[in-house]
Each structure stands twice: as C-alpha cells, then as structure tokens.
Amino acid sequence: MLQGFAPVVGPNTHTMILGSFPGEASLDAAQYYAHPRNQFWRLLGDVLRRPLAELPYAERLARLGESRIGVWDIITGCERVGSLDGNIRDHAPNDLAALAETLPDLQAIGFNGGTAARIGARQLGGIGKLPELIPLPSSSPAHTRPFAEKLEDWLKLRTYL
C-alpha cells in the first residue's frame, strides 16, 4: 500500500488544490508534483504571476503559504503500479470534509484532474457550507492538452486570490 503526503495548509488557507494521489516521481522525491514534465508548478505560477517552477521546493511551498493556497490529495493510500490514476486500486480517502471544517477562510477548491474532481466532490458532500468547487484539467504529462488550454481553465482560480 502506497502512502500519500500530509496536507500543505495554513490556518488562513482560502484556496485548496486537490490532486488524486502522488505519482512515482513525487513519492520518490517526497514532494508534491515532482515529475519534471508535470505542469502543476508552471500553471499555478502563471496563476499567481510568480515563477514557482524555477524555485526550490521549500520556496514553492512558502509562496503557496503567502498566497493562502493549500495542496493535498483526495487519496491517502492506495495500491498502484505506475503513476496513472487509472491504475489506482483499493484506495483509502483523505478526510477532506474534516480538513475543510478547520479552514474558516476556505473559499474555493480546485480539483487537479478528473479523478480528483469525481472522487473529491463525493467526499465533500457531507460538509455544511461548500466552498466553490472548480474542476481543472490535469497538470499531468499524461493529460496531453496544450499548456495554453490548461492555463485558460486554471486562471479561474484568480477570482479567489
């Protein structure tokens, strides 16, 4: 059983980005979105107008905190061969509702990819006042939409920043 990461949040987090589960490169590096072809840091950097992809990982996380953005995954553990969401088996969910309840300033949740959106929206069904739920195209290199098209959807997050 593979294990995911702890959430990256602060007490004043107002926007969460939820992925499905870390890929092999991320698990090996113990860093969110560590695969060099994953576009997460470029996309979010363009949203924030900050060059996140060029920064060391610790500085990326610091910039997210300054921007009141949190990162986590919808799955805490699973069995999977490779990095594709389609290979996820026997997954255990993270308690998204419990985390959302601890974030009084939470206004929006962006789902990084279809798997995150599909499973994550179900997991959040139990909380009282739902923040805005925003499906985003996956930042994964396996999702082959052009960067500019992905960015157009990711820029919707600026409304909440």
| DSSP helix/strand/coil, 36 | coil
Catalytic entry in 12, 38, 87, 112: 38
38 is catalytic: yes
Report d(CA 100, CA 56) in Å as an integer: 28
Report d(CA 48, CA 68) in Å as an integer: 11
| DSSP string for 97-156 | HHHHHT-TT--EEEEESHHHHHHHHHHGGGSSSPPEEEEE---STTS-S-HHHHHHHHGG
Using the Cα atoms of residue 84, residue 145, residue 53 and residue 20 in order, give the sign of their dihedral. negative
Residues annotated as catalytic are: 38
